[in-house]
Amino acid sequence: MLITIERDGPVAVVTMNRPEAMNALSSALREELARAMVEVNADDAIRAVVLTGAGTRAFTAGLDLKELGTQGLGAANAEAPAANPVKAIEQCRKPVIGAINGVAITGGFEVALACDILIASENARFADTHARVGIMPGWGLSQKLSRLIGISRAKELSLSGNFLDAQTACAWGLVNRVVPADELLPAAKKLAADIATADPAMVGAYKALIDDGFALPFGEAMALEHRTSSARNAQVSGDEVEERRRAVMERGRSQAG
């Protein structure tokens, strides 16, 4: 199996399982990843997803260049989620935490950026080698990276093809935090489990609001938030607010002590 799904209560761990090829994104793996994301998205018992790569060397090394050498780039540029793993991940309504266990290179970098949250192993490294391979990114790297780490840093990475280590990626705001390799999956699953304790409908709607707003100019995004909050909050009763306030306070006390 090129993709495995492990369910642990409300958390699903989706693993790209081609370690002998550094989890390279062959057409078969991309198709299986799309099916896996549809499956976890449709499963009401799953509230959060962790995406990682098998082994310790690679999250994913990107598109399978040997395969592309015979098939050409056309299939990889398709918009359908079965060909485009970024679309497959982005269409998941549930939060997706990328557990970056090794290198995330070029197309693999783009897959990482499709996740909602990134936690990196100390072994993680990122690289954009599009300029060196001689192909243009088609899964969002040229636009997403600059918005996350700044345009000058993005140009440094993309035009040089140099690797970015995990600690620098954290300092630049690309990943949320860096943990020892043996703590990566437990940390990602713990965060996913924390998210899973919140109301899933609210989490899905809030994720969509953040993503939709991020794609807009700031003024339009603020207007979107106002429209969304006005419509949704009008449906919440005072009793519901009080009940949830008490739950939040109790959770805060338990986390503090």
Q: Where are the domains of the chain?
A: 3-196, 216-256
| Strand arrangement of the beta sheet that strand 125-127 belongs to | 58-60, 103-105, 125-127, 164-165
Say if residues 97 and 50 touch (Cβ distance below 8 Å): yes
Measured at the CA of 207, the angle between CA 201 and CA 212, to 5 degrees, comes to 125
First to last CA, the chain: 43
Output the pTM of the full model: 0.91
Q: What is the mean pLDDT of the chain?
A: 92
Question: Percent of the chain, pLDDT > 70?
Answer: 90
User: What pLDDT is attached to residue 76?
Assistant: 56
Say if residues 54 and 17 touch (Cβ distance below 8 Å): yes
pLDDT in tens, 39-87: 999 999 999 999 999 999 999 999 987 776 565 555 555 567 788 999 9
pLDDT in tens, 244-253: 667 667 767 7
pLDDT in tens, 127-162: 999 999 898 999 999 999 999 999 999 999 999 999
Relative to beta strand 177-179, strand 117-121 is parallel
User: What pLDDT is attached to residue 164?
Assistant: 98
Q: What is the DSSP string of 25-53?
A: B-HHHHHHHHHHHHHHHH-TT--EEEEEE
Residue 101 CB contacts under 8 Å (≥ 6 apart), including other chains:
52, 53, 55, 56, 58, 59, 121, 123, 124, 181, 184
Residue 195 CA to residue 93 CA, distance in Å, equals 13
Q: How far is CA 168 from CA 123, 146, 165, 206, in A?
A: 12, 15, 6, 29
Q: Which of 92-101, 142-151, 174-183, 229-238 has the lowest mean pLDDT?
A: 229-238
User: What pLDDT is attached to residue 82?
Assistant: 80
Q: Which two tokens stand for residue 192?
A: 């996913």
| Burial bucket for residue 217 (CB in 10 Å: 0-12, 13-18, 19+) | exposed
DSSP 155: H
CATH of domain 3-196: 3.90.226.10
